[in-house]
Structure 1
Amino acid sequence: MSRVESDGCRETGLRLDPKWDAAGLVTAVVSDAVSGELLMVAHMNADALAATLATGEAHFWSRSRGELWHKGATSGHVQRIVEMRIDCDQDALWLKVEPAGPACHTGERSCFFRAVTSDGLVRG
């Protein structure tokens, strides 16, 4: 039996069944729903995913603080979910959001505000 046949529900089915990593997390890629700009990458555990689905706003698991994190709870820069997708293995999420401000804790619109070149990092 092929992998797809033996794991068809997760890989081709329509039932949400995230494949959590050893730490109980999935990667969440966040982009602007209108412009398509990549804003940030974070992680979700089951509680963060449930809170995101329940509220329509992005919630993540903070690996550094070891706690659930509602994006924008303190800054006001919430991310309203426009669409959420999961990849074929169900081990990564893509959140298309309407951001209420910068995504990056540095104040930059995107966490990806620097380009990597052979000479190092440049704003770009």
Structure 2
Amino acid sequence: MSEHRHFTRIPFDAQTTVSQGNHSWPVDLIDLSLNGVLFKQPDVWNIHPGNPLMIDIRLADHTHIKMECNLVHITPVYVGCQCSHIDLDSITLLKRLIELNVGSDEYVERELAALIKEHGAH
């Protein structure tokens, strides 16, 4: 059975930090979507897989997209996380970023509606 992604993933390079508790690690962001992120696993890190991770993506204009994520998959190279909580400012920035890369406001609006339906409004 092939995996079907509901959310457009866009390749994106930005200063990104992953943190858990009092620890944080700079990571290389691979891509992001309305539903989560994929990044290269840091060489040295010590996370508790059952606990949420905080993702902080610093944009060129010094704004930040911040989201709380749960670890979904991990390989020796890559880590995939699904967004469990994102504030209004961050989702607005993320939505606009994806619109600029996809080129369609309508398409992103449909994805946002699917995300809200899938996860419920918080």
TM-score by length of 1: 0.34
Larger Rg computed on CA atoms: 1
TM-score by length of 2: 0.34
Which structure shows the higher helix fraction? 2
